[in-house]
Amino acid sequence: MDDCFDFFLLEDLETLESIERRSVFIPEHRNNDLDELDEDDFRRRYRFYKGTIETLVELLRTNISQPSTSRAITDVARALAELRPQYIDLPQTEDQRMQISQKFYREFGFPGVYGALDCSLIKILNPGGSLAETFRCRKGFFALNVQTVSDPDLSIRNIVVRWPGSTHDSTVFDHSYLRAHVETEVPSSYHLLGDSGYPLRSYLMTPFLNPVGAGQVRYNAAHARARNVVERQYGVWKKRFSCIDTPFRCSLETAQTVIVATAVLHNLALNLGDYEDEYSLPLQQDETMVNHSQEHGGNSQKKCNCCKFFQLIDL
C-alpha cells in the first residue's frame, strides 16, 4: 500500500521519466504511515485523509500490481485516468440537471445553470517538433489549454486536455464533445455560463459587455457570482496538486495523463468529504479576448428573457 503513496509525494514531475528507469530499493521493514501518523500529519504529507487513500487503493487494486507501482509512476497515473468515466461525468438525467440548476440558483441567484465553463493554461516544457510553437500561449510560455466544467460543489464535470496553449477558449469548446452534448441532449431550459471570450449561444450565457439598466446589471452580477465556481475549482485543484501549477517536465502524453488523473482524484476527494481549503478568491475581472459576435443573432433572445427575470426580482 505504501508504494501507492509515492505518487502523492511528488511535489512536481521534474524527475518523473528518470524515476521510471531507476531501480527501486524497498527495505524489508517499512513503517505503515496509516498506522504511524495521526490524521492531520497524514493529510499534510499525502494531501488526503486516510479514508480517501484506503478507498483509492481499493479502486486501483485490480488495475495495477504492486511491482508495477514501484517501477512506473506513470502506470499509477494511467490507472487513475482510466477511472475518468466513473468520476468525471456530465449530469445525464433530468433529476441530476435539476439538482445542479437549483443549487446554482439558491447560492448565486442565476436560473437554469447546467455548469460553469472555462479554460486554464497548464505549463509544459517545449514539446519539440514542427508544431511546438502552437503550444506557446499568449503569455509566452508553453502550455496546454485545459477546459473544464464545474458544478456548484466545485466538482469537475467535464475535462478536455488535448489543445495547445495558443488555442482560443472558444475553439476548444466548439470542437468538444461538451458542445455536441449540450446542443443535442440538454433541454433548452438549461445553459452553461462562460466569460466574454465565448460566443453567445442558446445553451451558453455570457455577460453583457456594456450593461444598461437594472436588469442587465443584476444579470451580470449574478452571472459573475455563479461563473466564479469554475475559478474556485481551478484554485482548489491546483492547490492540492502543485504538479499542475508548475511546468510539467515529462512527455506531453504523460502530462495529459497526469492532468486527468489529478482531476479524478479531485472529484474522488470531494465525494468522500475530503475538502481542500480555498484561497480567498475575489470575483474575477474578465480579462479574456472579447468575442464581438456574442451580442448578435437569435440567441440573444434567451439572454433578453434572462434580463427580464432580473428586472422583476428584488435583489
C-alpha–C-alpha distance, residues 187 and 125, integer Å: 41
**Which residue type, as a one-letter code, is found at position 37?**
L
Within 13 A of 156's CA, how many CA atoms are on the CB side? 31
234 vs 238: CA distance, rounded Å:
6
E strand or H helix that includes residue 119: strand 113-123
Identify the residue whose cell numbers are 428586472. 311
Tell me the pLDDT tens digit for each residue of 138-150: 999 999 999 999 9
In sequence order, what are the beta bridge partners of 122? 144
Contact 3, 69 (CB under 8 A): yes
Residue-wise pLDDT tens digits, 76-133: 899 999 999 999 999 999 999 999 999 999 999 999 999 999 999 999 999 999 999 9
Q: How far apart are CA 80 and CA 63, in angstroms?
A: 9
Average pLDDT along the chain:
82
Report whether 273 contacts 51 (CB < 8 A).
Answer: no
Asked whether the predicted pLDDT for residue 1 surpasses 50, the reply is no
pLDDT digits (tens, 9 = 90+) for 29-67: 556 666 666 776 676 666 677 677 677 667 766 655 555
For the entire predicted model, the pTM comes to: 0.76
- Measure the CA–CA gap between 144 and 136, rounded to whole angstroms: 9
- Cβ-based burial of 53 (10 A; exposed 0-12, middle 13-18, buried ≥19): buried
